[in-house]
Structure 1
Amino acid sequence: MRVEGTTSLRVRYAETDAMGVVYYGNYFTWFEVGRSAFCRDQGSPYPEWEARGVFLPCVESHCRYKQSARYDEEVLLRTWIEDVRDHSVTFAYRVERAEDGRLLAEGWTKHAFCDRQGKLLRRPQPFSEWLESVSDSKSNG
């Protein structure tokens, strides 16, 4: 069973276009909010990663838009770890309208494990065990 985090957001006016619809690029900002909250809520806040010399630059991202989110709506952002590899982790996201549970968007971001200089790291400790404990993926090379 996968571990999933849920973050509630209210669409801000600055996140919308002239029609009151959320601008598509803002979903990736929401993904970052969900990812940070997921790590913090599961006991491994991102600042701890950086303090130990592990950084997670995004190397791939995807979002599929299903319905428009609009100004002042409450949305629920569901976040989980989809895949763990030797040199990367993939987080998945699902954005739903809080009022009716309607799927608004879904996507994923893939992050490399690297040091401050950008050198790839292989399964950085102590985070490798944490990643395995909160994901239901079978680690692959």
Structure 2
Amino acid sequence: MVKEGIDFEIRVRYAETDQMGVAYYANYLVWFEVGRAEFCREKGFIYADLEKLGYRLAVTDAKCHYRNSARYDDLVIVRTRLKELNKRMISFGYQILRKDQEELIAEGETRHICLDSTNKPKSLPEAFLAQLAG
């Protein structure tokens, strides 16, 4: 199940770079999270609303493959798409692209399971599943 993704722009800030002016590798996972939040917002819900209902999405797997480097002040696109969805698991795919050339900088994936407030597996609400799949 690969759904069409959404794009979100981020300008690489000085604080996100190392001494060489290159984006620090862990920031790509932060950008994935920003893309994921914007994907959900685009689908009509805010993650905090899901938490208020007693659901949590725990990351069980995160991968990032670096193809190039983002640098200070680059404008990058975080492209996020839904890869897989079932009652207890969601998987998102990501691409980080340099905006001016649509050059692939990094790509990755995160996998999440749904938990209740006591960290026990829990099925996602049907309304949420329908919003994401739609």
Q: For the superposition of Structure 1 and Structure 2, which TM-score range results when normalised by the shorter chain?
A: over 0.9
TM value normalised by structure 1: 0.89
- Secondary structure of the corresponding residue to residue 126 of structure 1: helix
1:34-65 alpha-carbon deviations (Å, 9 max, x no partner): 00011011102111111111111111000000
What is the SS of the residue equivalent to 1:129?
helix
Measured in 1, the distance between the counterparts of 2:71 and 2:54 equals: 39
CA RMSD of aligned residues (A): 1.3
Query: Counterpart in 1 of 2:60?
Result: 59
C-alpha contact 1:91 1:108 (8 A) present in aligned 2: yes
> Any unmatched runs of 5+ in structure 2?
none
State the alpha-carbon separation in 1 of the partners of residues 33 and 25 from structure 2: 14
Q: Match for 2:25: what amino acid?
A: Y
Which amino acid in structure 1 is aligned with residue 105 of structure 2?
L
The residue identity in structure 1 corresponding to 2:43 is Q
Please give the per-residue CA displacement for 1:6-50, whole angstroms capped at 9, x wherever unaligned: 110000111111110011111000000000011011102111111
Partner of 1:11: 12
Q: For residues 80-117 of structure 1, what are the alpha-carbon distances to aligned partners after superposition, in whole Å with 9 as ceiling and x for unaligned?
A: 11011332100110000001110000001001111111
Q: Contact 1:113 / 1:124 at 8 angstroms: preserved in 2?
A: no
- Give 1:5 deviation, angstroms: 1.1
Q: Counterparts of 1:50 and 1:38 in 2: how far apart (Å)?
A: 17
2:22 alignment counterpart? 21
Q: Which moved more, 1:11-20 or 1:85-94?
A: 85-94
Q: Secondary structure at the match of 1:7?
A: strand
TM-score by length of 2: 0.94
Return the offset for 1:4.
Answer: 1.3
**Number of the residue aligned with 1:87:** 88
- Percent identical residues: 40
Alignment of 1:1-141 (within 5 A): 2-133=3-134
Structure (1 or 2) with the greater strand fraction? 2
Letter in 2 for 1:32: E
SS of the residue corresponding to residue 32 of structure 2 reads helix
